[in-house]
């Protein structure tokens, strides 16, 4: 079942950018990372079912949807993208 009303939208500062995410559920953290050029909404059908077992977090990655969009190709290097995810995990209070 698709339960949009239970999604919670939030923002964190992660690795110097403002990152948007959607979350639902409780328990161990499960990150759902979209590809390019998608955004969190690509997971809309999986989130409710997974949220029965996990704390699901689906962020908008750097440059996508409601997350900051730094200018320049150098702002999208893999080490920065990975740093964003690590920053998100820490901002959510996880290790």
Specify the pTM.
Answer: 0.92
SS (H, E, C) the chain: CCCHHHCEEEEEEECCEEEEEEEECCCCEEECCCCCCCCHHHHCCCHHHHCCCCEEEEECCCCCCCCCCCCCHHHHCHHHHHHHHHHHHHHCCCC
Taking residues 42-58, what's their average pLDDT?
Answer: 97
CATH superfamily entry for domain 4-91:
Alpha/Beta hydrolase fold, catalytic domain (3.40.50.1820)
Query: Where do the domains of the chain lie?
Result: 4-91
pLDDT at 52 over 70: yes
pLDDT digits (tens, 9 = 90+) for 76-89: 999 999 999 999 99
């Amino acid at each position: 079942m698709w339960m949009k009303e239970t999604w919670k939208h939030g923002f964190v500062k992660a690795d110097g950018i403002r990152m948007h995410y959607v979350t639902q559920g409780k328990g161990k953290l499960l990150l759902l990372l979209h590809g390019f050029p998608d955004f969190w909404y690509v997971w809309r059908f999986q989130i409710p079912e997974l949220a029965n077992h996990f704390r699901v977090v689906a962020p908008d990655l750097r440059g996508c949807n409601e997350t900051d969009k730094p200018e320049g190709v150098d702002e999208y290097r893999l080490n920065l993208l990975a740093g964003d995810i690590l920053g998100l995990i820490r901002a959510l209070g996880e290790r």
